[in-house]
Amino acid sequence: MKLEERKKKIEALRAKGLTYEKIGEQFGITKERIRQILTFKVEYCERHKRKFIGTCIYCKTEDEYVKKVKSILRENIFDQIFLLIPHTRKREVVMKRSAVIRALKDNYHFKFSEIAKLMERDLSTIKYLYKKQWTR
Ligand SMILES: [Zn+2]
């Protein structure tokens, strides 16, 4: 359902006197979300090319993700990860990248998708590097 369409339906239910909670149950969302939908106007996120009410969930997720990364990794490690980002196939660098991926996954319980985003790589590349056995 389009956002504007959903908003109209919610407004109609509200006009009938339904509580935020009852409306929320019908749409499978929280009463807080209903309040947001009724209070805020539909906006457009340029960054994610989508309409939203209240907060763009993708922007919010990205911000929370960055916070998560910053909070669990010491700053120097955080900087090191970014040094590993340049697209190079130099064995040494790829080995380090592989080690960082394992640390993020095994020690910090990051999802592969989160690591992929952090390192700006495809999910398949991250999975491959996670599993890769390096022989000297
Ligand atoms: Zn956004």
The pLDDT, as a whole number, for residue 39 is 92
Ligand 1 mean position, distance from CA 50 (Å): 7
Domain stop point among 38, 55, 72? 55
Ligand 1 mean position, distance from CA 51 (Å): 9
Q: Which residue has the tokens 């994610």?
A: 48
Contact (CB, 8 A) for 66 and 98:
no
The answer to the question of residue 20 being in a domain is yes
Same domain as 64, residue 51: no
Contact (CB, 8 A) for 11 and 41:
no
| Token duo for residue 54 | 């209240």
Domain enclosing residue 47, as ranges: 3-55
Ligand 1 mean position, distance from CA 59 (Å): 4
Ligand 1 mean position, distance from CA 34 (Å): 20
Tens-place pLDDT, residues 101-111: 898 888 778 88
pLDDT beyond 60 at 78: no
Tens-place pLDDT, residues 42-53: 999 998 888 999
Tens-place pLDDT, residues 82-97: 656 666 677 877 888 8
Sequential DSSP letters for 29-83: S-HHHHHHHHHSPEEEETTTTEEEESS-HHHHHHHHHHHHHHHHS-HHHHHHHHH
Same domain as 93, residue 64: yes
Same domain as 31, residue 7: yes
Same domain as 66, residue 49: no
Same domain as 91, residue 122: yes
Same domain as 11, residue 36: yes
Same domain as 64, residue 120: yes
The pLDDT, as a whole number, for residue 112 is 93
Ligand 1 mean position, distance from CA 16 (Å): 33
The pLDDT, as a whole number, for residue 92 is 79
